[in-house]
Structure 1
Amino acid sequence: RPLPLSYMVFDGPALQPPLVFLHGLLGSKGNFRAIARALVQRSGRKVLTVDARNHGESPHSPVMSYEAMSLDVQRLLRQLHLPKCVLVGHSMGGKTAMTLALQQPDLVERLVSVDISPTESVTVTDFQAYIAAMRRVSIPARIPRSTARRLAEDQLSPVVQVSAVRQFLLTNLVESEGRYTWRVNLEAISHHLAKIMGFPVFHAPYPGPTLFLAGSDSPYISSEDYPEIERLFPEAEIQYIPGAGHWVHADKSQEFITAICNFLL
C-alpha cells in the first residue's frame, strides 16, 4: 500500500516537467534544499524534494523495498497531477528512481541516478556499521539540544570517523517531549538492509535519456557496472565529477548543478 510522502516544493515558472529529488539512505528532503533553489534559478523548472518512507517526516512502515518506494512516489505524482517528471535520485533514491522508470517509463521524461548503479552495493558500503552505531547511541532525557548532539557525535565517532558523515547522520537526531530519538526507522531499515543494497530484477529497459552522475573518488559506479547499466538504460550517459565522493551534490555542488542543467538541455 503506497504511503503519503512528505515533500517540499520550490516553484519555477517553466512549463516543462518538474525535477523530483529522491534522497539516499538515512537522508531527507532537506539534503537538496540549496540545490533545488539553485536549479529553479538556473533551469526555471519547479523542483520537489521528497522524504522516502521511514525517513524524514514521511510515515514509517515495516515494509522497505524499491517496489514499495516506487509506488509511494507514483502516488505522489498522481496526487500532484504530474503526468511526467525528471527523476533525480541519490544512492537509495537513485535505485528508487530507476525502479520507477523501469516500471512506469511514461511517467519519467528523464532520469538521473547519482552515484549508484542498478547492481548490488554491499561490497562498497559502510551503512550497516553506521546503522548499528546509531542504534547503540544513548542520550539522557531533558538535556540541551547542543549537549545531546555532542553526546551522540562522541558515541558515533569510533565507528563513523569522517566528520562530514557524522554531521549527515546527526541531521536525523530529533527531540520529542524532552527525549532524543532518531527520526529514521532504524529497525525497518536494518531489517531490510540487504534488500536496499540490492536491486530488483528487470528485463525490459527504460528507453529515455538517462544520466549516471558519479563521484570520481567514489566506488559506487565502476566499469564492472557498465554492462548492466547499458542493458537496462540503453540511452545512458555516465559522467564522473572530479574530486567528488559518494555525496556528489554536497562535495561539488556547482559542478553537480551544472551537470544537471546540461542534461536538461
Structure 2
Amino acid sequence: MSALCRLALTGRLRARQSLRLFPGQQDVCVLAPSVRTASSSSPVNLTYDVFDGKGESTPLVFLHGLFGSKSNFHSIAKSLVQRTGRKVLTVDARNHGNSPHSSVLTYEAMSSDLKHLLAKLHIEKCILIGHSMGGKTAMTTALMQPGLVESLVVVDISPSQTTTRTNFHSYIQAMQEMKISSDIPRSTARRMAEDQLRRLVKEHSVRQFLLTNLVEQNGHYAWRVNLEAISAHLDDIMSFPNFTSTYDGPTLFLGGASSAYISSDDYPEIQRLFPNADIQYIPDASHWIHADKPLDFISTIISFLQS
C-alpha cells in the first residue's frame, strides 16, 4: 500500500480528498480531487478564461455541457475573437473543471453562479452560448435575468425532459467503478481507464470526452468532476425548471441534424418560452456540434450575431 493510502487510513490525509479504496488490490487508490468546496446555498466563484477582443461589442459567454469544461470551447473562442473582435469568456460550471464543488447542482444554482461571475467582472450584458447542460443554464439565466442577456444561443438542447435520450446513468456508473493503480504513467492510466469505461460506454468519442476529466495528483488519479453531486442531481440536470415568464430577446436553437436532442415535439415549448426563437440544424453533426463541425458552428454563430 502506498504512503498516501496509509495516511488516508490513519486519518491524516486531508478530509476533502475523499479517499476511496478498493479491497483486494494492492496500491490501488482513487482520490477525489482536492478542490474548494462551497456552501450549499451561496453562489460559487466560477473559474473562467478570457479571450480579449479589441472591439467594444457585447461579450460572448460560453457554457459547457455535463462532464465538460471551459477548455471545450477554447478553439471556438479564439476564432470568434479573431473574426468578430468581441471579448469571449469560457466558464467552468460548478462541480466541473476547476470550479469549486458543491452538493447542489440545479439550474437555478448554476444561473446564480453565472450572475455572480458577471457582476464580479462588471459585465452588465452578454450574449450567452450554452451547450447541453450549459444551454439549460443559459435558458434559465435568460428567463430569470433577461436584462443580463442581449441574445441567446442554445446548442443541441431544449427546455424539455431529456432523460430518455441519454446514457448518463451508465457513464456515471462506469466512472464510479473505475480502479486505477497508483504511480503509473499518465498514458498507462488513460489506457487503463478507457479499458474499464468500455463495458458501459460504447462510443469511443464519449470515452475520450469523459477521460478529459481524469487528473493526476502526486501519482494518484482522480475524476475532477463531482460525481457524487452529478449522480444525486441527474434528474434535475435532465429536466428543466418550470417557468411562466418568457425571454423575448433574439434566440437561436442550434441542433445537430444527427442528434435527437431538439425534436419537433419540443417546438411548442421553445416557442412558448422564447417567442423570438429561430431553430436551425447543422448537417452531419451529432450532439457535440462544435467538435463535429467547428467551421459551420462558428459561421452560424457569426450569422446570428449579425442578424
TM-score under structure 2 normalisation?
A: 0.86
1: CA distance between counterparts of 2:281 and 2:107?
25
AA at the equivalent of 1:141: S
Please report how far the alpha carbon of residue 90 of structure 1 lies from its aligned counterpart in structure 2 after TM superposition. 0.2
Per-residue deviation, residues 146-194 of structure 1 (Å, max 9, x unmatched): 0000000000112212111111100000011211000000000000000
Please report how far the alpha carbon of residue 43 of structure 1 lies from its aligned counterpart in structure 2 after TM superposition. 1.0
TM-score under structure 1 normalisation?
A: 0.99
Structure 1 segments of 4+ aligned residues over 3 angstroms from their partners: none
> Where does residue 263 of structure 1 map in the other structure?
304
Please report how far the alpha carbon of residue 42 of structure 1 lies from its aligned counterpart in structure 2 after TM superposition. 1.1
The partner residue of 2:135 within 84, 94, 99 is: 94
Matched, 1:173 2:214: yes
2: CA distance between counterparts of 1:250 and 1:128?
23
Per-residue deviation, residues 188-214 of structure 1 (Å, max 9, x unmatched): 000000010000000010010000000
2: CA distance between counterparts of 1:41 and 1:263?
17
> Where does residue 201 of structure 1 map in the other structure?
242
- Aligned-partner SS, 2:259: coil
Per-residue deviation, residues 3-30 of structure 1 (Å, max 9, x unmatched): 0000000010111110000000000000
2: CA distance between counterparts of 1:95 and 1:165?
21
AA at the equivalent of 2:301: I
> Where does residue 151 of structure 1 map in the other structure?
192
Query: Please, what is the CA RMSD of the aligned residues?
Result: 0.5
Identity of aligned residues (%): 65
2: CA distance between counterparts of 1:165 and 1:19?
27
The partner residue of 1:17 within 50, 58, 75 is: 58
Max radius of gyration: which structure?
2
- Aligned-partner SS, 1:237: strand
> Where does residue 12 of structure 2 map in the other structure?
none
- Aligned-partner SS, 1:214: strand
Matched, 1:78 2:125: no
> Where does residue 188 of structure 1 map in the other structure?
229
Matched, 1:243 2:287: no
> Where does residue 110 of structure 2 map in the other structure?
69
Matched, 1:56 2:117: no
Query: Which runs of 5 or more structure 2 residues have no equivalent in the other structure?
Result: 1-41
2: CA distance between counterparts of 1:200 and 1:56?
24
> Where does residue 212 of structure 1 map in the other structure?
253
2: CA distance between counterparts of 1:243 and 1:14?
33
| Matched residue count | 265
Query: Which runs of 5 or more structure 1 residues have no equivalent in the other structure?
Result: none
> Where does residue 35 of structure 1 map in the other structure?
76
AA at the equivalent of 1:100: T
1: CA distance between counterparts of 2:138 and 2:295?
22
1: CA distance between counterparts of 2:131 and 2:114?
15
AA at the equivalent of 2:134: G
- Aligned-partner SS, 2:279: strand
Matched, 1:160 2:226: no
AA at the equivalent of 1:97: A
Please report how far the alpha carbon of residue 126 of structure 1 lies from its aligned counterpart in structure 2 after TM superposition. 1.0
> Where does residue 28 of structure 2 map in the other structure?
none
2: CA distance between counterparts of 1:14 and 1:106?
21
1: CA distance between counterparts of 2:206 and 2:81?
27
Per-residue deviation, residues 200-236 of structure 1 (Å, max 9, x unmatched): 0000100100000000000000000000000000000
Matched, 1:45 2:72: no
- Aligned-partner SS, 2:61: strand
Please report how far the alpha carbon of residue 63 of structure 1 lies from its aligned counterpart in structure 2 after TM superposition. 0.6
